[in-house]
Amino acid sequence: MSKIDNLRKPKWVLVTGGSHGIGRALSLECVKQGLGVAIVALPNEDLRHMEEELAGIPGAAYLTLGLNLVGEGAIAKILDWLSEASLKPTYLINNAGFGRGGLFENTTWGEYRTMMQLNNQVMVELTYALLPILKETQGGVLNMSSVEATLPLPYKTVYTGTKAFVYNYSLALREEFRYYDISVSVLCPGPVITNEDGLKRVKAMGTLAKIAVTMPEDLAPEAINGMLNGKAVIRPGFLVKLMAFLGKLFPRPIKLRLLEKIFSKYREEDVAVAEPVE
């Protein structure tokens, strides 16, 4: 779906997972700042709601594509879609991703595999495929990591692993892309309430989470301004900055033992029977 009248807007942002949660808030903030948004997300109710929401914003320029990013040929489909609309994004927001909390063995291998594909492989592949366009438009890339990337978190092992990849990959890529005048920023939010898993985590953390938790709309302006200003690491909000600072202050063995204790409620879970790895 698109608002064709507005396709002539000068700068466009391609946002993955822009139909819900943080991606939705980032997309709406882009629109607020006069940018056009090209949203790729799963073809379902969330995307339809987002289309309705965008249609109701006067002057909003948008384009949507319902697509499973981990499906066969997804990146090629995005390139075709952009080409058909003659659209060359200035910015790329690699936001789509998900995590699971709990005992390591309680997430299925299939889910871990999809998590690693979506959180890491899709991000790299999309950036790789879009690079010729980004070299032309000379904008920037915003990659979604998490404050958890640099902790890291027991009981969220694979997720924090994927986010540590995003963090290091983004900082390294930033230095390479300097030569092309393309900025690379990495966004490291704290806990944001967007879905069931977030709620589960808040319950597991108790009072601590109630203090630390934010809503997607709260972090979007700082995130988008950081991207537009080419900031390297964006840690939205005072508490996230404090968490990152404290994380560096504590010696690693003490920090990890403490984090394990905070999240040890997950040990009360029943251990699932692991599905066989194909």
Ligand X SMILES: NC(=O)c1ccc[n+]([C@@H]2O[C@H](COP(=O)([O-])OP(=O)(O)OC[C@H]3O[C@@H](n4cnc5c(N)ncnc54)[C@H](OP(=O)(O)O)[C@@H]3O)[C@@H](O)[C@H]2O)c1
Chain centroid, CA 184 distance in Å: 14
Smallest gap from residue 129 Cβ to ligand X (A):
15
With respect to ligand X, which residue has the nearer C-beta, 68 or 121? Answer: 68
In the complex, minimum distance from the CB of residue 78 to ligand X, in angstroms, rounded to a whole number? 10
Shortest Cβ 184–ligand X spacing (Å): 16
Dihedral Cα 157, 146, 39, 138, nearest 10 deg: -120
Nearer residue to ligand X within complex by CB, 137 or 240 = 240
Minimum separation from the CB atom of position 220 to ligand X (A): 11
Of the two residues 89 and 97, which places its CB atom closer to ligand X in the complex? 97
Q: How far apart are the first and last CA of the chain?
A: 38
Task: Give the shortest CB-248-to-ligand X separation in angstroms.
Answer: 18
Residue number with CB closer to ligand X (41 or 133): 41
Cα–Cα distance, 151 to 259 (Å, whole number): 9
Rounded CA separation 195/15 (Å): 19
- Residue closer to ligand X (CB basis): 121 or 194: 194
**What sign does the CA torsion over 65, 71, 77, 82 have?**
positive
- Look at residues 97, 71, 94 and name the one whose alpha carbon lies nearest to residue 197: 97
Q: Do 179 and 130 form a contact (C-beta atoms < 8 A)? A: no
Smallest separation (angstroms) from ligand X to the CB of 226: 14
Which residues contact ligand X (rule: CB under 6 A)?
A: 17, 19-23, 41-42, 44, 46, 68-70, 95-99, 118, 144, 146, 189, 191-192, 194-195, 198
Cα–Cα dist 182/227, whole Å: 11
**H or E segment to which residue 144 belongs:** strand 140-144
The nearest distance, CB 119 to ligand X, in angstroms, is 6
Strand partners, 66: 41
Residue with smaller CB distance to ligand X, 81 or 98: 98
CB nearer ligand X, residue 31 or residue 96 = 96
Q: What minimum distance in Å lies between the beta carbon of 162 and ligand X?
A: 8
Closer residue to ligand X (CB): 197 or 269 = 197
Measure Cα distances from 237 to 63, 95, 241 in Å.
Answer: 30, 18, 7
DSSP alpha helix (H) spans, 34-191: 45-55, 74-84, 109-116, 122-137, 157-177
Widest CA span in the chain: 57
Q: Locate 43 and state its tokens.
A: 């073809």
